[in-house]
């Protein structure tokens, strides 16, 4: 599968159906994966979520329609799948900078073009992995708020701080976990260190039973772990057929190595 060719087919399909309700199941079927994984791949490669991409394309076309035709605002709102004139007007003003009722031949409007991917990009890196089954886990941990920009610094600094504060009392830290703001996981919001034993002052976190992809890193170094994470998301995931589960990925630290664990169906 050429993922970039498939993504072009998806953006073309979206453009052809902007005036209809777009079924994410259809987009996922075009990739041969589930909806969640499709959304993750699109967001990672395009740099924008599917929902936001569709929203911007619709508002771009709505501006053109209002500029070129005499259609009423309510008709344009319905045409581009808005429930009310009010919600459409808010979205339109936020995008274009003016109210839809104020559009005229002198108006300056924005256009968010259809994304077209370069189909000649090839992914040739090899990544070794195994698939394992794990029972439900009860983990206990402590975390800090962070974001995509700062996690590369926040996570290793927090890990070292927890080592100094808790390792003598509770033993070695077993797991790391990144928490995201929403189901699509575009923006992280927290990083946790976790133990596989009950610690009353820590938060209890349940990890459901699942199959997991395991990528081994011969290091506990934060830089090496981040490199593996990037390879998985930007090289392995777009070209594989595994369906991701909506469970956080885990980093399992043991015996001087780190296992990067990704939940799948």
pLDDT digits (tens, 9 = 90+) for 84-116: 999 999 999 999 999 999 988 777 899 999 999
Q: How far is CA 41 from the centre of its chain?
A: 7
User: Do 59 and 13 share a structural domain?
Assistant: yes
User: Do 93 and 15 share a structural domain?
Assistant: yes
What are the pLDDT digits (tens) for 164-183? 999 999 999 999 999 888 76
Q: Which residues pair with 134 in a beta bridge?
A: 210
Give the mean pLDDT of 227-246: 85
Specify the pLDDT at position 180: 85
User: Do 168 and 249 share a structural domain?
Assistant: yes
How many domains does the chain contain in total?
2
Total-model pTM: 0.76
Q: Do the beta carbons of residue 173 and residue 162 sit within 8 Å?
A: yes
Structure tokens at 160: 């070292």
Cα–Cα distance between 250 and 9 in angstroms, integer? 33
What are the pLDDT digits (tens) for 11-46? 999 999 999 999 999 999 999 988 988 998 898 889
User: Do 147 and 79 share a structural domain?
Assistant: no
User: Do 145 and 40 share a structural domain?
Assistant: no
Q: What domain range is 209 assigned to?
A: 130-264
Domain CATH code at residue 38: 1.10.10.60
User: Considering only CA atoms, which of 241, 219, 222 is closest in space to residue 230?
Assistant: 222
Domain CATH code at residue 245: 3.20.80.10
Q: Do the beta carbons of residue 14 and residue 24 sit within 8 Å?
A: no
Structure tokens at 225: 């772990």
119 in a structural domain: no
Above 90 in pLDDT, residue 143? yes
Residue with tokens 């996981």: 185
Q: Where are the beta strands (DSSP E) in 61-157?
A: 130-134, 137-145
User: Do 75 and 24 share a structural domain?
Assistant: yes
Please tell me what DSSP assigns to residue 242: P
Instruction: Give the neighbor-by-neighbor strand order of the sheet with 210-217.
Output: 130-134, 210-217, 257-264, 250-254, 175-180, 188-195, 137-145, 203-207
Cβ-Cβ contacts under 8 Å for 149 (sequence gap 6 or more) = none
125 in a structural domain: no
Above 90 in pLDDT, residue 127? no
């Amino acid at each position: 599968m050429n993922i970039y060719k498939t993504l072009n087919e998806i953006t073309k399909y979206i453009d052809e159906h902007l005036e209809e309700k777009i079924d994410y199941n259809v987009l996922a079927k075009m990739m041969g994966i589930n909806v969640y994984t499709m959304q993750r791949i699109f967001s990672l490669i395009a740099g924008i979520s599917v929902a936001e991409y569709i929203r911007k394309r619709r508002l771009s076309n709505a501006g053109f329609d209002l500029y070129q035709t005499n259609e009423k605002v309510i008709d344009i709102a319905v045409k581009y799948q808005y429930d009310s004139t009010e919600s459409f007007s808010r979205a339109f003003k936020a995008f274009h900078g003016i109210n839809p009722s104020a559009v005229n031949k002198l108006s300056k409007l924005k256009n968010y073009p259809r994304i077209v991917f370069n189909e000649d990009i090839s992914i040739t890196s090899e990544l070794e992995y195994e698939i394992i089954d794990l029972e439900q886990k009860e983990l206990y941990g402590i975390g800090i708020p962070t974001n995509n920009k700062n996690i590369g610094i926040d996570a290793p600094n927090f890990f070292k701080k927890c080592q100094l504060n808790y390792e003598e009392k509770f033993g070695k830290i077993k797991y790391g976990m990144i928490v995201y703001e929403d189901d699509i996981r575009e923006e992280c919001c927290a990083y946790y260190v976790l133990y596989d034993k009950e610690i009353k002052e820590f938060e209890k976190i349940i990890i459901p039973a699942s199959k997991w992809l395991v990528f081994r890193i011969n290091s506990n170094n934060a830089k090496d772990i981040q490199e593996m994470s990037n390879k998985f998301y930007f090289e392995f995931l777009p070209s594989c057929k595994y369906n991701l589960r909506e469970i956080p990925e885990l980093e399992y630290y043991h015996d001087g190595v780190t296992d990067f664990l990704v939940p799948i169906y």
